[in-house]
Structure 1
């Protein structure tokens, strides 16, 4: 059996030890698709109130949100303190439970370049100052990053391991419109190519099962994302949670979630067509609580991974 080239493999080969991503959620960050800059309400599948990596919110920051045009940030010091508290707690657990030796600080929730440059620089520099941190991974949208921020990440990349993660989701503009994405596919391609031209590491997020997409469309999205030169990939099935626009469509019978059989087949075909140098960071996603409406197979991630490996086994592969 041949193991798929995973992000864990990549990091272990590069740093010769266990490297873990520490997911961080900074209060005051939001998304241009939530605050009304490009759209309202967020993507149809996103439950905005619960979209966070941590419940450790700062009370004073509730209702305070940054954007690219914010003139000041009176809560920067509190954000820096929040960053340190979360990093210390999560990295300690990862050391104890998984014998982690080094860390990447993963700015995970919402859009982590959607703030004034001075705020971003302070947060990124602080994160890189922590013990045993070898780099950063910045989750963002392609319509929410400036050349100034990109250039600074490139400077950091000379000494540290810097990744930028873009939500590609689909290369079809009609799909992006249906999910209220707020930008087109050309915008994603532009900033991925720009990031790669400057030497940054890029991870692309792909969603299978988006409204009205067939397998041919899903595979074409994978193919083009690979051709844009991404270095790593995360695959997600689209699942429905309560309090979302997608949930309304589902309850009205206007949206049918992807079956596990179709997801497995699409995932395997996408992995097979993937160039060997592109690492895999995630093969599925789900949630096991009362907020999940459908599909039920997204509840048990361990079972999903077992089924994925069963499907891969026929091709002599394993995850």
Structure 2
């Protein structure tokens, strides 16, 4: 449900420039000197003919205060022609591709009805990075069928890819989605759901230890609006969770990459 993360000031009926101007006004009161990246987040932001995409991206880059683009998309919806165009933009603007990888397990991807494989994600990441474009992968932890060993097998696979940034978050059951209906009918399927922030932080502590140390982690959690969330109900802000994770790392004497096995 895209409504669980799309900002309130964004409307598909507005132009890209108008949406960005609304966002600037929203944040400008608190951060008057801030510069911005235009985040094409919801849905598949490469699913259009190249001339249409060029118009949208260049409209965003033309807004005062915007220094670059972050483009969220699927790994099976990126052509070499588009990547060549984005590489040309990257010569003078910050361009980052954010791929919804979601899982390294093809069985999980079929369960999620993603319509792509992990191999396709690896190909998209490789083709993007080799053009000098910043590359991000987004994954969800705690999917039905996930186990602690299966989740802790992810870092070594991801570390072998030319990723600059990783975004992680816990599975959230959001109202008015097929997953919410399944959760209501078959709750035992969701035994891997992280019902407490402490359990998730413990998993992440071990996950980070196995991750390549030079890979930035830009997100650890998601925070859907309470009125849209079915489970898990943590009642915790994102910054509070980061503090919890830092504390667990300190208590364990651990850091990102200290158990990483691979090339330095």
TM-score (norm 2): 0.86
Q: Which structure carries more relative contact order (alpha carbon 8 Å, separation 6+)?
A: 1
- Alpha-carbon offset, residue 126 of structure 1: 1.3
Structure-2 change in CA distance of 1:235 and 1:165 (3 Å): same
- Residue 251 of structure 2: aligned partner: 314
- Residue 214 of structure 1: aligned partner: 147
- Residue 260 of structure 2: aligned partner: none
Q: Verify the 8 A CA contact 2:143 2:190 in the aligned structure 1.
A: no
Higher mean displacement: 252-261 or 206-215: 252-261
1:267-286 paired onto structure 2 within 5 Å? 267-286=204-223
- Residue 194 of structure 2: aligned partner: 258
For the residues of structure 1 that align with 2:159 and 2:248, how far apart are their CA atoms?
A: 22
For the residues of structure 2 that align with 1:49 and 1:137, how far apart are their CA atoms?
A: 19
For the residues of structure 1 that align with 2:107 and 2:98, how far apart are their CA atoms?
A: 23
- Residue 107 of structure 2: aligned partner: 174
- Alpha-carbon offset, residue 258 of structure 1: 2.2
For the residues of structure 2 that align with 1:295 and 1:179, how far apart are their CA atoms?
A: 19
TM-score (norm 1): 0.72
Q: Verify the 8 A CA contact 1:138 1:165 in the aligned structure 2.
A: yes
Q: Verify the 8 A CA contact 1:106 1:136 in the aligned structure 2.
A: yes
Query: How well do the aligned residues superpose, as a CA RMSD in angstroms?
Result: 2.3
Structure-2 change in CA distance of 1:166 and 1:298 (3 Å): farther
- Residue 202 of structure 1: aligned partner: 135
Q: Verify the 8 A CA contact 2:180 2:230 in the aligned structure 1.
A: yes
For the residues of structure 2 that align with 1:200 and 1:56, how far apart are their CA atoms?
A: 26
List alignment gaps of at least 5 residues for structure 1: 1-46, 60-80
- Residue 52 of structure 2: aligned partner: 119
- Residue 292 of structure 1: aligned partner: 229
1:1-20 paired onto structure 2 within 5 Å? none
Structure-2 change in CA distance of 1:94 and 1:221 (3 Å): same
**Could you say what secondary structure the match of 2:227 adopts?**
coil
List alignment gaps of at least 5 residues for structure 2: 257-264
For the residues of structure 1 that align with 2:226 and 2:70, how far apart are their CA atoms?
A: 28
Confirm or deny that 1:57 pairs with 2:11.
yes
Structure-2 change in CA distance of 1:57 and 1:94 (3 Å): closer
